[in-house]
Structure 1
Amino acid sequence: MIDTLTAPVLVGAVLGLGVYVLVRALAPSKRSAVSQVARIDALRASGRSYERHTASEADDGRLGSLRARTGNRIAELYVQQGWEQRSLRSDLAVLDRGWEGFLATKVLLGAAGLVFGPMLFAIAWAIGFGSGPIVPVWLALACAGVFFFLPDLEVRRDAAAKRKDLRRVIGAYLDLVSMNLAGGRGLPEALMAAAEVSDGWALRRIRNALADARITGTSQWVALGRLGEELGIEELKDLSSSLALVADDGAKVRESLASRAETMRHREMAEIEGAAGEKSQSMLVAQLLLCAGFLVFLIYPAAMRVFQI
């Protein structure tokens, strides 16, 4: 009798503790000066002002405003706890997605997982599988954890694919800059002219970074380095460092850009050949398995006759 009463009490205590922690984490609290300054710096670094941020919240409707408020609360919690998540932020910057919206999506999917787990257990219990009150709790927590980390996997996969495209564009961009330098243009003009040949997302990000550098009065190679740091692109960081060293010598700049573009092309070709080799190996394994299955199909009748004898 004691065991039958203890299990529901433990389940209720765990659920109550989880709800209390969630409410305390999302409840509005008095912001300290450090957290407020960090929040302003984060908004400034992401290129959005507070007015634009609040205006976008007001235009999304009730569901959008709830999602925005949830994302803001969780982002403030991250700032207060000192959780930077730089790699994830750079992935979101590559995909041009907001940090607050991403956090809100994670939490809402986790909440959906808490509901999905008991529903799955109810279906399993209806067909006669599973018993006991503790199973829905663990199933709900497992589904919530899986749903919570699904956006991370999606963002990292999409960001990796988009970074490959960006590196390919950077190689062509360096060739264009070298050609503009050979035509007699200066380095700032060559960088901007090469970024204006296309309206793709990669060159548009480079063009916006160069335009912002011209407005703020910073050097354009420093702006490229900041863009590389924001997007997690090491090639842009190396390009910024090399341009800072040889910016005054046009011949050295052309040679550096040409050699760097050639290196990036060789690296891209090596990656393509490696991917093709992996695909050919996987096709070879599939063919071997198919041949093995066909041999088993041929040998099976004769083997059954031998064993029956």
Structure 2
Amino acid sequence: MSLTMPILVGAILGLGIFALVRALMPGKRSAVATVARIDAMRARGTAYETKHRATDEDSGRLGGVRTRVGQRVAEFYIQQGWEMRSLRSDLAVIDRSWEKFLATKVLLAATGVFFGPFLFAVVWTLGLGSSPIIPVWLALMFGVVFFFLPDLEVRRDAADKRRDLRRVVAAYLDLVSMSLAGGRGLPEALMAAAEVSDGWATQRIRTALADARITGVSQWQALGELGDELGIEELKELSSSLALVADDGAKVRDSLASRAETMRHRELADIEGSAGEKSQSMLVAQLLLCAGFLVFLIFPAAMRVFQGA
């Protein structure tokens, strides 16, 4: 039994490392997998994204390894049909590469797999544990935790930037409404309002509108596609409303003004709700502090009473 368990642990670790290397190594694809990969790349623009960002990859040996790992994992996701639309929208908001993100997840997971047994070795040296199955569970646990850590970071940063983008969109709609009131047409008003500021949000809107002129699609359709890419429902709703009233300037102006007012009221409600949550958390903290202070005052007297009894 003393020899069987270490052999079993080594076999499991070796099998896991082999599966990881085999998944990242280029293999011979079937015709069905190749066709599915081409269709997925064409539908989502993956080929353009990979080519566009290949020149921005990190230099050096570590950067090359990270690039190859990211490309292999991205191809594996495509073959499996894992689209991860929500996560891709978050990455698009914070302007990060999908391949780099996947490479970070895999490399962190590999670090966690080796960190678990290393932690067990430290604990075993201190004489706090001796079971050989513990490093396996630690490796799996740290590997899974480290694999999902980048997701939490990306979702947190994307939520903050979406909040900023919604504020910018509300102000942008007011500027468009004022431009329409000044006698400009809808395409000119949309572009003029986007050129007022050089912030990242207005730059994204300005780029989408400029691309719409080049590709020949309507500007409100381009705003809807931008909202779909970034996961901003307000832009998609704006695109739908503009498509319905684009030919009537008065209706467009009224629609934009009412939508901007609705977004401001929604933002104000969110701010008030967040302030209420913080006030409640502060109240709970004060109550806990008072309870601890009362225990500190009552405890000596209670101990004297119990000792006297």
Give 1:88's aligned amino acid: L
| Residue in 2 that maps onto 1:115 | 114
- 1:40, distance to aligned residue in structure 2 (A): 4.6
Equivalent residue of 1:4, what SS?
Answer: coil
Matching residue's letter, 1:170? V
Structure 2: distance between partners of 1:56 and 1:300: 64
1:9 aligned residue: 7
Q: Does the 8 A contact of 2:53 with 2:97 survive in 1?
A: no
Contact 1:95 1:158 survives alignment (8 Å): yes
TM-score by length of structure 2 reads 0.94
Alignment of 1:169-248 (within 5 A): 169-248=168-247
Between the aligned partners of 2:161 and 2:169, the Cα distance in structure 1 is 12
Q: Find the counterpart in structure 2 of residue 34 from structure 1.
A: 36
TM value normalised by structure 1: 0.94
* Corresponding residue number in structure 2 for 1:134: 133
Partner of 1:293: 292
Query: Does structure 1 conserve the Cα–Cα contact (< 8 Å) formed by 2:41 and 2:47?
Result: no
Aligned-residue offset at 1:132: 2.2
d(CA) in 2 for partners of 1:40, 1:53: 17
Q: Distance in 1 between matches of 2:307 and 2:290?
A: 26
1:234, CA displacement in angstroms? 0.4
Within a 5 Å distance, the mapping from 1:41-190 to structure 2 comes to: 41-42=43-44, 44=45, 48=49, 50=51, 52-57=52-57, 60-190=59-189
Inter-partner Cα distance in structure 1 for 2:144 and 2:16:
13
Aligned partner letter, 1:126: T
Runs of 4+ in 1 over 4 A off after TM superposition: none
Whether 1:277 aligns to 2:279 is no
1:158-179 Cα distance to aligned partner (Å, 9 max, x none): 1111111111111111111101
How many Å apart are 1:293 and its aligned residue?
A: 1.6
Give structure 2 stretches of 5+ with no counterpart.
Answer: none
Residue type of the alignment partner of 2:36: V
The one-letter amino acid paired with 2:81 is G
Shift in alpha-carbon separation, 1:119–1:16, aligned structure 2, 3 A: closer
Q: Structure 1: how far apart are the matches of 2:292 and 2:7?
A: 55
Using the TM superposition, name which of 191-200 and 23-32 deviates more.
23-32
SS of 1:19 mapped into structure 2: helix
The worse-fitting range, judged by mean Cα deviation, of 113-122 and 209-218 is: 113-122
Which ranges in structure 1 are unaligned for 5 or more consecutive residues? none
**1:45 shift after superposition:** 5.9
Contact kept in structure 2, 1:39 and 1:76, CA below 8 Å: no
Q: Deviations over 1:167-221 (max 9, x none)?
A: 1111111111101000100000000000111010111000000000011110000
Instruction: Give the RMSD, CA atoms, in angstroms.
Output: 1.6
Does 241-250 or 13-22 show the bigger shift? Answer: 13-22
Aligned length: 304
Provide closer, same or farther for how the CA distance between residues 37 and 56 of structure 1 changes in structure 2, counting only shifts above 3 A.
farther
* Alpha-carbon separation, structure 2, partners of 1:70 and 1:307: 67
**How many Å separate the matches in 1 of 2:240 and 2:130?**
64
Q: Deviations over 1:117-150 (max 9, x none)?
A: 1111111111111102221121111111111110
Q: Which whole-Å deviations, capped at 9, do the CAs of 1:45-99 have from their partners, x for residues lacking one?
A: 686362x444334x62211111011100000000001000000000000010000
| Partner amino acid, structure 2, of 1:33 | V
Partners of 1:267 and 1:46 lie apart in 2 by 39
